[in-house]
């Protein structure tokens, strides 16, 4: 499934400001649906390093609630996710019609979030993050052979905490958090060994779209780093790798291109699984 990104923010790393007004955000959201998005993920606060201080829940809601209401007015069957780590925002957004809470902190940054999601009965996406965004540039590096082990261990901890709070097991999707506390090349072990995350037993979401580690890898080709909106080709390579490794959802900015890449990756994976099944039968 394809999750289309709608940033209702002035400062998101990829398209900050382009869709800050409610009207432009709704127009963009409807375009993503027309291109084949299965879910729209709406966010009212950027978590990229160097952004302004955190916004209040009320400011976040002022940004996203009009967009949620307008999208559902235009396309009543749309599945919406609210990208927030604040319990107050989550409650209001789900009450307004969102069905999923996408918490980049995995319920760590707001102690009330797990209980609220359990009460609401909504779907949840638990992302792995290592520290807060203002800490990422000064964190000690992760040895490459420890990245996947760390993500597995800490995502398992987050799922246990969610279940203990009353979140239904069937409501949980896990996200390894590309770029969230993983500096540049530290993300490649997650791409190379994405299939290891299946050991956790939950559907998996991959969100490498336009991330800075892709830009760094492309820099030698271009002679300089390239801006986020020129990283779509690299994004397609990254999401193809995750789909071949069994990702269930991908979160992307360019939905149409992603749909095409996923169609090919799904066909390859289906053929591979068919051959593996025949081999087992024999």
- Catalytically active residues are 211, 251
CA gap 247, 241 in Å, rounded? 9
Long-range pairs of 182-187 with CB within 8 A, sequence gap ≥ 24: 182/130, 182/142, 182/147, 182/213, 183/136, 183/139, 183/141, 183/142, 183/213, 184/212, 184/213, 184/216, 185/144, 185/213, 185/216, 186/141, 186/142, 186/144, 186/147, 186/213, 187/147, 187/211, 187/213
CA angle (13, 129, 146) in 5-degree steps = 120
CA gap 25, 28 in Å, rounded? 5
In the 8-state DSSP scheme, what is residue 82?
E
C-alpha separations of 159 from 86, 164, 167, 238 in Å: 18, 8, 9, 25
């Amino acid at each position: 499934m394809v999750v289309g990104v709608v940033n209702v923010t002035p400062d998101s790393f990829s398209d900050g400001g382009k869709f800050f007004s409610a009207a432009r955000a709704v127009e963009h959201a409807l375009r993503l649906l027309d291109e084949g998005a299965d879910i729209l993920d709406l966010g009212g606060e950027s978590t990229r390093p160097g952004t302004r201080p955190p916004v209040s829940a009320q400011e976040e809601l002022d940004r996203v609630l009009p967009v949620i209401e307008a999208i559902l007015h235009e396309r009543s069957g749309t599945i919406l996710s609210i990208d927030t780590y604040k319990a107050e925002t989550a409650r209001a957004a789900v009450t307004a019609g969102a069905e999923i809470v996408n918490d980049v902190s995995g319920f760590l940054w707001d102690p009330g979030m797990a209980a609220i999601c359990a009460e609401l009965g909504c779907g949840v996406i638990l992302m792995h993050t290592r520290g807060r965004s203002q800490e990422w540039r000064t964190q000690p590096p992760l040895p490459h052979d420890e990245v996947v082990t760390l993500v597995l261990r800490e995502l398992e901890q987050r799922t246990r905490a969610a279940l203990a709070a009353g979140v239904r097991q069937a409501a949980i999707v896990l996200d390894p958090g590309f770029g969230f506390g993983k500096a540049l090349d530290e993300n490649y072990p997650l791409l190379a060994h994405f299939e290891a995350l299946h050991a956790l037993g939950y559907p998996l979401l991959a969100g490498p779209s336009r991330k800075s580690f892709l830009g760094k890898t492309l820099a030698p080709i271009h002679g300089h780093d390239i801006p986020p909106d020129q990283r779509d080709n690299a994004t397609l390579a990254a999401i193809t790798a995750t789909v071949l490794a069994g990702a269930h959802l991908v979160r992307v900015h360019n939905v149409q291109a992603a749909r095409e890449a996923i169609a090919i990756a799904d066909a390859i994976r289906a053929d591979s699984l068919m051959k593996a099944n025949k081999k087992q039968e024999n």
